A = this chain, B = another copy of it.
Amino acid sequence: MSFPETFKALSDPVRREILVMLKPGKMSAGKISQAFDMSGATISYHLSQLKKAGLILESKYKNFIYYELNTSVFEEVMLWFSQFGGNKNEK
């Protein structure tokens, strides 16, 4: 939820890859896990970090837990970056 947490969450390559995987839409923890050569517990840990940072949302259906991007938090981070004038689309 807090800014420092969000940046910490974004600093790990595995977590960034998860975010990219979620671009098309919801995906279950197990399906996400399959993409990595790591234990399910480790991926669960990364998902919890992303969730704590507010970057993803979770929902349950049957035996599965689905994760999806929370785009509003991305906007906040973008806003932080825009103070450095890096935003070419700025007026």
Write the residues of chain A forming the contact surface with B, with a CB cutoff of 8 angstroms.
Answer: 4, 7-8, 10-11, 13, 16, 19-20, 23, 69, 71, 74-75, 77-78, 81-91
Contact = CB atoms under 8 A, between A and B. Distances in A.
A37 B81 CA distance: 25
A62 to B, nearest CB: 28
Give the number of times this chain occurs in the complex, counting copies.
Answer: 2
Nearest to A11: B11
A89 B86 contact: no
A81 B77 contact: yes
B78 A81 contact: yes
Contacts of A78: 78, 81-82, 86-88
B7 A10 contact: yes
